[in-house]
């Protein structure tokens, strides 16, 4: 048994039964597994200082926004197994204008995970998942995806010389993401059906064949994604915000945020829990319905539909972990329409920040919760933007240049190539 197996246990998050690599869920109760580390015994101030020092240190392991928190991520993973591209270290915007747009009294903060190497937050989980796959000697890795996980997997697998196999819903992945996944060398299977069908197929395939599964049911992915929270807390000088809003699909990220906050409190890094606010698209909102109705089990949405294709998911796998995260943090779920998502996206884009449609659900959700009185206008809120603007150019073109343009459309202008025509137009533009 190697060191990693002795100091980081794989345990069912529901019944506590021990698990092992290669099991997607607990054979006893069907729950998902989680990693339990022995957390470092160190004063919080010393731990904070260690993280801060690494950021200005040398070498990719010190400076990566995932691996500089390695004590809390994968403490025993051998360094030579690590596949990193300097992920994380993403910018935390502070915007008065978007805070006002959302109905808050003050600014809103936006943690832009689209600034990762492949343009989404998935890189934080993937550096850990692929590193663990390398440590285990895996030759092939696989996932089902709405396009971002697949792009990230393709990149990290290629860096590690592994074969990447991805299952995507046919015709429902944005052109940018599909192009990125293919270009980075993954083999793509387009599945007739939704993400949920693709997920079922990849689970069946990885059960039968020696392929390492890298969806967020893999608990190592969750460990990497926790660093979004560690890093944003650090950027706020470890003064926790009142709430953190994030788009929610398969609910891996919501689960990761819950685990990160839990550990941050246990380590004394923060002294209170921000409320978690997972936001779903109204056409793909089974988790919101579960929480709002206080039902016992998640009722899948058989026909998920939304313009935010990243979160077009009807049967989220991590709903139990995510529900616990919402409950422990006294959080709230919400669902927003495609129109609300596109309006929030137009506002974020016009503020010079930009994001893909699913990411804007976070800000749209905050606005909805302030309006409904579930979130106080004086709250300090961080919205997580999960993917880059260029991930979905078609959505932008439709909104700004389509036959039914959105209320803040900004279509380009075409003029005759004549100085007078240009001068007249410029004079009008400049008022
Ligand atoms: N935002 C973006 C941009 C995403 O790509 C995803 C998930 C989410 C939010 C939701 O995160 O699933 O952890 O609740 N994308 C997955 C994929 C499903 O395949 O790329 P979640």
Burial degree of 89 (CB within 10 A; 0-12, 13-18, 19+): middle
CA of 117 to the centre of ligand 1 (A): 16
Cβ of residue 180 lying under 6 Å from some atom of ligand 1: no
Cβ of residue 358 lying under 6 Å from some atom of ligand 1: yes
Sign, CA torsion 151/156/159/164: negative
In the chain, the domains with their CATH numbers are 92-119+221-401 (3.40.50.1100)
CA of 254 to the centre of ligand 1 (A): 10
CB-based contact 38:72 (threshold 8 Å):
no
CA of 213 to the centre of ligand 1 (A): 16
CA of 315 to the centre of ligand 1 (A): 13
CA quadruple 279, 285, 288, 294: dihedral, nearest 10: -170
What pLDDT, on the 0 to 100 scale, is given for residue 7? 73
Tokens at residue 30, please? 């069907």
Cβ of residue 362 lying under 6 Å from some atom of ligand 1: no
Tell which residue, 215, 250, 247, 249, has the closest CA to residue 228.
247
> CA Rg, the chain, in Å?
21
The C-alpha atoms of residue 18 and residue 24 are separated, in whole angstroms, by 13
CB-based contact 358:247 (threshold 8 Å):
yes
Cβ of residue 278 lying under 6 Å from some atom of ligand 1: no
CB-based contact 120:391 (threshold 8 Å):
yes
Cβ within 8 Å of residue 297, ≥6 positions away: 290
Cβ of residue 145 lying under 6 Å from some atom of ligand 1: yes
Q: Give the residue, out of 259, 315, 386, 395, with the most ligand 1 atoms within 8 A of its beta carbon, to mutate for a pocket test.
A: 386
In the predicted model, residues of the chain with pLDDT beneath 50 are: 1-6
The C-alpha atoms of residue 239 and residue 24 are separated, in whole angstroms, by 36
Cβ of residue 215 lying under 6 Å from some atom of ligand 1: no
CA of 81 to the centre of ligand 1 (A): 26
CA of 148 to the centre of ligand 1 (A): 7
Tokens at residue 273, please? 């829990």
Cβ of residue 248 lying under 6 Å from some atom of ligand 1: yes
Place of tokens 């139990």: 320
CB-based contact 124:87 (threshold 8 Å):
yes
Tell which residue, 139, 122, 7, 124, has the closest CA to residue 74.
7
- For 116, other C-beta atoms within 10 Å of its C-beta total 28
Cβ of residue 255 lying under 6 Å from some atom of ligand 1: no
CA of 45 to the centre of ligand 1 (A): 33
What pLDDT, on the 0 to 100 scale, is given for residue 22? 86
The C-alpha atoms of residue 300 and residue 263 are separated, in whole angstroms, by 30
């Amino acid at each position: 048994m190697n060191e990693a197996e002795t100091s980081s246990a794989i345990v069912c998050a529901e019944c506590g039964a021990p698990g092992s690599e290669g099991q997607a869920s607990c054979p006893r109760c069907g729950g998902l597994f989680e990693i339990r580390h022995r957390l470092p015994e160190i004063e919080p101030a010393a731990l904070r200082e260690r993280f801060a020092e690494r950021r200005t240190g040398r070498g990719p392991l010190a400076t990566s926004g995932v691996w500089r928190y390695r004590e809390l991520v994968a403490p025993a993973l051998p360094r030579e197994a690590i596949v990193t591209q300097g992920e994380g270290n993403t910018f935390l915007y502070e915007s008065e204008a978007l805070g006002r747009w959302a109905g808050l009294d003050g600014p809103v903060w936006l943690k832009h995970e689209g600034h990762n190497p492949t343009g989404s937050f998935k890189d934080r989980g993937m550096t850990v998942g692929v590193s663990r796959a390398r440590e285990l000697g895996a030759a092939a890795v696989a996932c089902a995806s709405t396009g971002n996980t697949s792009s990230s997997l393709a990149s990290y697998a290629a860096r590690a010389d592994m074969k990447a196999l991805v299952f995507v819903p046919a015709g429902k992945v944005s052109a940018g993401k599909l192009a990125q996944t293919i270009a980075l060398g993954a083999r793509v299977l387009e599945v007739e059906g939704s993400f949920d069908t693709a997920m079922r197929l990849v689970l069946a395939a990885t059960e039968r064949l020696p392929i390492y599964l890298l969806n967020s049911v893999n608990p190592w992915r969750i460990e990497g994604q926790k660093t979004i929270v560690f890093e944003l807390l650090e950027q706020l000088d470890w003064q926790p915000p009142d709430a953190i809003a994030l788009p929610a699909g398969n609910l891996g990220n919501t689960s990761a945020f819950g685990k990160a906050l839990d550990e941050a409190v246990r380590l004394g890094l923060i002294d209170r829990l921000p409320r978690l606010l997972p936001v779903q698209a109204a056409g793909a909102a089974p988790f919101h319905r579960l929480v709002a109705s206080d039902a016992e089990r998640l009722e899948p949405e058989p026909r998920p539909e939304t313009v935010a294709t990243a979160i077009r998911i009807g049967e989220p796998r991590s709903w139990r972990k995510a529900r616990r995260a919402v409950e422990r943090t006294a959080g709230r779920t919400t669902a927003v329409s495609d129109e609300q998502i596109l309006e929030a996206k137009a506002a974020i884009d016009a503020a010079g920040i930009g994001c893909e449609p699913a990411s804007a659900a976070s800000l749209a959700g905050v606005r909805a919760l302030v309006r409904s009185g579930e979130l106080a206008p004086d709250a300090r809120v961080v919205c997580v933007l999960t993917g880059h603007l260029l991930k979905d150019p078609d959505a932008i073109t439709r909104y700004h240049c389509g036959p039914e343009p959105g209320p803040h459309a900004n279509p380009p202008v075409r003029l005759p190539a004549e100085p007078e025509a240009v001068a007249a137009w410029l004079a009008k533009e400049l008022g």
